[in-house]
């Protein structure tokens, strides 16, 4: 795991984005939500520090639900914050060195908070990179999540999107969640 000191750049970035928003650099508030499903690429024995022979069952299904908000725009790039729940994988292992059969099962489901940006690439296609703090039950690490989305406007301020995402988590075993994502965004006009 990465120590809190090493995760400091992500924390600072979140506070800088929120500080700019509080200082009045806000054209509109755009709030949204995304859900994603896919597969987690991970070396389970390395990530969990168990020998491969002890694994009874596992699932590397990747799920993500996210809330995000964009607070201000700088040079055509929207900047904001994100919070998400992530399901990376499930495992069931046989505990070694005990006389009777004993098993242990668990899931790895970190919460993430971070800074997010959005940049139009061409037409309705945008890239949305995020720098996150991944909060596990036993520690904190850093993650990055590049996403590419096709955005389809439904109304003046309402947009739905679909795309692909990769969630790279710099923790034990370096799990990488990859999959499809769908979302909705709504732009809320703010009074000046």
Residue 108 structure tokens: 């790895």
Residue among 176, 186, 177 nearest 154 (CA): 186
For the stretch 51-67, pLDDT in tens is 777 777 778 899 999 99
Determine, yes or no, domain membership for 120.
Answer: no
Q: Tokens 């989305």 label which residue?
A: 149
What parts of the chain have a pLDDT lower than 50? 1-4
Pick from 102, 94, 109, 84: nearest CA to 165: 84
Task: For the beta carbon of residue 169, count every other beta carbon within 10 angstroms.
Answer: 27
Predicted TM-score (pTM) of this structure: 0.78
Task: Please state the domain count of the chain.
Answer: 1
Q: What is the pLDDT of residue 74?
A: 81
Strands 55-59 and 125-127: unpaired
Do 149 and 128 form a contact (C-beta atoms < 8 A)? yes
Q: Tell me the pLDDT tens digit for each residue of 120-141.
A: 999 999 999 999 999 988 889 9
Going by their DSSP bridges, the two strands 77-87 and 103-108 should be labelled as unpaired
The reported pLDDT for the residue numbered 25 is 52
Q: Is residue 139 part of a domain?
A: no
Number of other residues whose CB lies within 10 A of the CB of residue 66: 23
**Pairwise CA distance, residues 15 & 118, whole Å:** 18
For residue 107, what are the domain limits? 4-115+148-183
Predicted pLDDT at 52: 74
């Amino acid at each position: 795991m990465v120590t809190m000191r090493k995760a400091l750049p992500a924390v600072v970035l979140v506070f800088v984005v929120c500080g700019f928003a509080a200082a009045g650099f806000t054209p509109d508030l755009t709030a949204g939500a995304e859900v994603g499903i896919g597969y987690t690429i991970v070396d389970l024995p390395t990530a969990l520090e168990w020998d491969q022979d002890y694994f009874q069952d596992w699932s590397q299904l990747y799920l993500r639900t996210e809330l995000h908000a964009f607070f201000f725009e700088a040079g055509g790039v929207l900047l904001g914050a994100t919070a998400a729940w992530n399901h990376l994988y499930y495992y069931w292992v046989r505990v070694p060195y005990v006389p009777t059969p004993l098993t242990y099962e668990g899931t790895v489901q970190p919460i993430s908070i971070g800074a997010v940006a959005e940049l139009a690439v061409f037409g309705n296609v945008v890239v949305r990179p995020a720098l996150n703090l991944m909060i596990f039950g036993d520690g904190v690490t850093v993650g990055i999540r590049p996403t590419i989305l096709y955005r389809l406007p439904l109304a003046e301020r309402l947009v739905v999107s679909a795309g692909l995402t990769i969630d790279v988590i710099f923790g034990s075993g370096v799990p990488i969640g990859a999959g499809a994502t769908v979302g909705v965004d709504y732009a809320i006009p703010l009074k000046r």
